[in-house]
Amino acid sequence: MSRIGRALAHAVIRAYPRAWRERYETEIHELVDETDARLPDAVDLATGAIQRRLIGGAHMRFELGYRHPSAFAILALIIMAPTLAVALLSLVGHELGVGAVASVVDPLLASITAPRVIDLGLVVAPLVAFLLAALPLLDARFEQGDDGRMLALRVRALPVNLLVGAVAIILGASLIGHIITESVLQLGA
């Protein structure tokens, strides 16, 4: 039982924030071995890890995205590119009255979006793109302030991610607006 407890305790230490581990990891692994840690010790360590994560000032952020924000912005752009292309062509064809474009786009769009899953994918893509572009910008953490515990939220000002995120929001909002308008018009007809 103590072998399981010790193995668990060693595993739980890896759940502590990186900065904490850089400072204390070696000595606490040694302590776990010396004390022949048991299951309650693993639970005690897990409680400590949760406290460090939630109330000890540890950063809560999407680490992979935080380290590679541009890659996430490009991925977001790729994901919403088909929706963006369709929206732009429809805009040129219908709103700007370029008939030649409309006559090419409408049949093409009808055939592409015939399977519901592709139709749904085109609508959902801006939301996914927005999340991919915006997540690397967020860095939240709990801090002990004079007025108690505070949730401090910082947003990184990365132009590429902000631009892609804004395009995703505008695109998504336009699509939803378009779908609602179409539905209302169909109901009224």
Query: What does the DSSP 8-state code read for residue 61?
Result: S
Decide: 141 and 66 in contact? Cβ < 8 Å.
no
The residues in 47-76 that bind other proteins, with binding defined as CB under 8 A, are 47-49, 51-52
31 near other proteins, judged by CB under 8 A: yes
Closer by beta carbon to other proteins, 46 or else 138: 46
The residues in 143-182 that bind other proteins, with binding defined as CB under 8 A, are none
d(CA 81, CA 77): 6
Closer by beta carbon to other proteins, 27 or else 95: 27
2 near other proteins, judged by CB under 8 A: no
95 near other proteins, judged by CB under 8 A: no
Nearest in space to 79 (alpha carbons), one of 118, 119, 134, 125: 125
34 near other proteins, judged by CB under 8 A: yes
Decide: 32 and 13 in contact? Cβ < 8 Å.
yes
Q: How many CA atoms lie within 13 A of 97 on its CB side?
A: 0
Task: Enumerate binding residues for other proteins (CB under 8 A).
Answer: 9, 20, 23-24, 26-32, 34-35, 37, 40-41, 43-49, 51-52
